[in-house]
Structure 1
C-alpha cells in the first residue's frame, strides 16, 4: 500500500440522524454543529469543519455535511473537492433515501476514495447487522467503490473507532495526489468582520497554495484582496496548502 498523504479533505455523507456529526465528534473531539438552531433541532444545517490526524503523516480536514433532504445544495457544496468520503449508515435503519442520494452525488463528482461506517451498532444484534452490511454492499454495486471498506462502529466503542481510523488512513493512501502547482481555489463558507482585523473569509483550500501577503481574486464579481494574515485549523501560519481548513484576514475587502 502506498504511504498516507497529508492535508486531505474528508467529507461525511449519509441520511439525516444517522450519526455523522456524533461520529466526527467521537473521532476528533470537535462538535461541528455551531448554530443554535442545529443544536436545538439536533440536525446539521450548515457545513461543519474539524481537523483529524489519525496517524503520523496523515491529516484530514473534515467537512461534515447535512443529511436532511432540504439541504442537498449544501451537501453538494461540501462534497465538491473531497478526497475521501465517509459514508455513514445507521445500523438500526440501514440504507435510506438520503444515503442513496448522497451516494449518487459522490459518484457523480468522482471522489477518489470511500469508507462506509455502519454506526449505532450497539442498538442492534449481529444478525440484523449482517443484513445492513448486505444492504450497504448492494448499494455499492456498479459504482467505483465496490471494494470500499465497511466498518461497524459505535461512538461508545473505542476499538471500533480505532478500526475506522485505520480504514480512513488506508483510504487516504489511495486518494489522488494534489500539488502546490495546482490553481489556487478556496470556496468560501463564511464571511464575517472581526474588530481590529477586518473581513475574514473561511473555507477549505481545494487546490494550490497560499502565502501571507499574496493577493487573491474573489469570484463572482472580480474583486481582490490581500491576505493580511490567516489561520489553518485555528493555528497561525504563513503558508496554507490544499486540504487545510483556512481562515483568511483580507485587506481591501469590505
Structure 2
C-alpha cells in the first residue's frame, strides 16, 4: 500500500470515529430531551391533580424542578411530588411521625410525634460567621465548615412503602455557609418545618381529646362487687384456682346488672 493510500485510510478512519462520536452525542442529547419532556409532562399532570383536589388548599408551597411540597395548615394535609415520576403523595397530619432539617447529613432541628427534640443551630442559624458556622448536630460532633452541599427537609411518615421522604431546599451543589443563598434556603426549610410541626401537634391534641371524651366502661354495681369479693375469698382460701377465678370473674362482669 502506498503512503498516499495509507494516509487516505487514516483520514477515513478519523472521519468514521468523529462521525460515530457525533452520532452518539446527538443520540444522548435526544434521549435527555425525551427524559426532560417526559418529566415536564409528569409534573404538569401532578400539578393538575393537586389543583383539582378541592379538599386541599395549600397555605405554603415549595415548587422547583425536583420537588413540590404543599402544606394545607387549615386541614392538616401535605401534598408531595418528587421528580422524575411526580407521583402524588398525600400525607394527613396523623401519619406524620417526625420532621427534621438536615444540613450535610447532620440534623439541626427535629420534632417527633409525642415529644419535641430541641436540637437547634448554635447561636443565630442564619448569621454569617467568619471562618464558618458551628452546627450543633443531634448525636454528632460539632464541625466547622465554610460551605454547605445539601439542605434537606426530611419527613418520617406512617407508610411502609414510603417511610422516609426528603425534599432538598438547596438549588446549587454547593453554597457558602451564611451566604444569602444559604439564608434563603434555611429560612424556607424552617418555615415548612414549623408548619408541619404545628399540624402534627394539633393532630396529637385532637387524638388526646378524643381519648378523654370516650365513655369509660361502667363500674360494677354493688351486687357484682359483693360477688367478686366472695369470689376472691374463695380463691385466697384455695377453693378456686386462678383459672377458675378468672373464668368466674369474667362471667360476673359480663352478666347483666339487676
Band the TM-score falls in, shorter-chain normalisation: under 0.3
More strand by share: 1
| TM-score, normalised by the number of residues in structure 1 | 0.21
Q: Which has the higher contact order (CA 8 A, sep 6+)?
A: 1
Larger Rg: 2
More helix by share: 2
